[in-house]
Amino acid sequence: MESIQFAPIIVGTMRLGEWGAKMNLAELEKFVEGCLEMGLNDFDHADIYGHYSTESDFGKLLKHNPSLRQKIQITTKSGICLTTERKPEFLTNTYNNSKDHILKQAEESLRLLETDYLDLLLIHRPDFLMDPHEIAEAFTHLKAQGKVKHFGVSNFTPIQFDILNSIFPLETNQVEISITRLDAFEDGTLLQCQKNRIAPTSWSPLGGGKVFEKTADEQILRIQKVGNELAEKYQVGLDQILLAWLIKHPAGIIPVIGTSKIERVKSALDACKIELTRQDWYLLWKASTGKDID
Ligand SMILES: NC(=O)c1ccc[n+]([C@@H]2O[C@H](COP(=O)([O-])OP(=O)(O)OC[C@H]3O[C@@H](n4cnc5c(N)ncnc54)[C@H](OP(=O)(O)O)[C@@H]3O)[C@@H](O)[C@H]2O)c1
């Protein structure tokens, strides 16, 4: 099977439901249709979003409007067990990347999302007790059953990725990358994606919104100053400068954006056309780190 092809921007669902905008069915449908009109067909879920309610919100939409399913790609994640009234069996927060849990949660995601296949399943976080062979067995089983087409991980270190990838081929590592979170540039994560020719996907690409807030945080203030100067220079918004900064990396970072506003989705897509100069890229790097490079 061919590798997964992502749209230039992935639409995150974490803040669309109970954990954010609390969209009703009509609002969610309008938002999803608006994304599709722009050619953005990738929707990023996780079992836990909205305390296990957002997959179900999306599933209700797919049931209400079944023609949407063939137009979209659904990513979901499993492996975090969050304590909530909806899961009385979870007595404490844990990670669980056991074969049984991956298989059980995949079935549950399929049920809640009202679909018979997932386009991409990610292991949400490395579990201290994980056995990569068990994860590979679960993936192999789900693939053979046709229930999941593509597989990847999230928040894995390069060594964790490498070990699992040597047993079962992975198609992305979804990690936090933004002007406020630079680790992936320095810890080998991006280089590893380049080596394996897979697209890194970046969650909270706008720092979860904190780059827009009024704050006394010195790093954010530096980023806002330089970012706004560049926004003026390129005649675009601060959000677009910060996304263009990510997209410039030759690894081909695909931002997983979290806005619930369709005009901000459009703004993110338009950011893909901006070409920051190398000097402007380093000006933002310096604003983030607070120091010049050596
Ligand atoms: N794999 C993981 O471990 C993991 C962890 C966290 C998230 N994720 C995924 O990543 C996605 C994105 O994460 P995120 O929501 O933190 O991403 P983000 O895009 O960095 O932040 C989104 C937040 O920023 C605000 N925002 C965006 N543009 C703005 C602007 N121009 N002005 C003011 N506020 C603005 C949004 O508010 P509005 O809605 O008002 O625009 C929203 O609250 C999630 O939906 C989820 O799918 C994955």
pLDDT single digits (tens) 105-123:
999 999 999 999 999 999 9
Tell me what pLDDT residue 284 has: 98
Check: CB of residue 124 under 8 Å from CB of residue 77: yes
CA distance 156 to 206: 20
Tell me what pLDDT residue 46 has: 98
Check: CB of residue 221 under 8 Å from CB of residue 211: no
Asked whether the predicted pLDDT for residue 163 surpasses 90, the reply is yes
Tell me what pLDDT residue 38 has: 98
What residues make up the domain containing 52?
10-171
Tell me which of 13, 155, 257 to substitute to probe ligand 1's pocket, judged by most ligand atoms within 8 Å of the beta carbon.
257
Tell me what pLDDT residue 162 has: 98
Distance 260 CA to ligand 1 centre (A): 8
**236 within a domain of the structure (yes/no):** no
**146 within a domain of the structure (yes/no):** yes
Q: How many CB atoms sit inside 10 A of residue 64's CB?
A: 13
Tell me what pLDDT residue 251 has: 98
Q: CB of 115 closer than 6 A to ligand 1?
A: no
- State the average pLDDT over residues 6-21: 98
Q: CB of 201 closer than 6 A to ligand 1?
A: no
- How many domains, the chain? 1
Q: What is the CA radius of gyration of the chain?
A: 19
Tell me which of 206, 246, 265 to substitute to probe ligand 1's pocket, judged by most ligand atoms within 8 Å of the beta carbon.
206
**85 within a domain of the structure (yes/no):** yes
CA 72 to the chain's CA centroid: 15
Q: CB of 14 closer than 6 A to ligand 1?
A: yes
**125 within a domain of the structure (yes/no):** yes
Catalytically annotated residues: 49
Q: Please report, for residues 5, 39, 113, 178, the alpha-carbon distance to residue 2 in angstroms, rounded to integers and kept in the order given.
A: 9, 20, 24, 29
Tell me what pLDDT residue 62 has: 98
- State the average pLDDT over residues 186-198: 98
**272 within a domain of the structure (yes/no):** no
Q: For a pLDDT cut of 70, what percent of the chain falls above it?
A: 100
Helix ranges restricted to H, 38-130: 49-52, 54-64, 99-112
- Nearest-CA neighbor of 207 among 293, 284, 92? 284
Asked whether the predicted pLDDT for residue 161 surpasses 80, the reply is yes
pLDDT in tens, 272-294: 999 999 999 999 999 999 999 98
Q: CB of 205 closer than 6 A to ligand 1?
A: yes
- Residue with the smallest CA separation from ligand 1 atom 7 is 203
**92 within a domain of the structure (yes/no):** yes
- Nearest-CA neighbor of 178 among 230, 249, 231, 229? 249
CA distance 91 to 251: 40
Supply the mean pLDDT for the chain. 98
Percentage helix, strand, coil, to 5, in the chain?
45, 15, 40
Tell me what pLDDT residue 93 has: 98
**Which regions of the chain does DSSP assign to beta strands (E)?**
10-12, 42-44, 73-78, 80-81, 94-95, 118-123, 148-154, 173-176, 201-203, 254-257
b/e code 195-212 from CB counts within 10 Å (16+ = b)? ebebbbbbbbbbbbeebe
Residues in Cβ contact with 82 at an 8 Å cutoff, skipping those fewer than 6 apart = 48, 51, 52, 90, 93
Q: For a pLDDT cut of 90, what percent of the chain falls above it?
A: 99
- State the average pLDDT over residues 6-27: 98
- Residue with the smallest CA separation from ligand 1 atom 32 is 212
Tell me what pLDDT residue 1 has: 75
**187 within a domain of the structure (yes/no):** no
**CATH number, residue 82:** 3.20.20.100
Check: CB of residue 113 under 8 Å from CB of residue 62: yes
**150 within a domain of the structure (yes/no):** yes
Q: How does residue 128 score in pLDDT terms, banded at 50, 70 and 90? A: very high
CA angle 166, 167, 169 (to 5 degrees): 75
b/e code 162-193 from CB counts within 10 Å (16+ = b)? bebbeebebbbbbbbbbbbbeebeeebbbebb
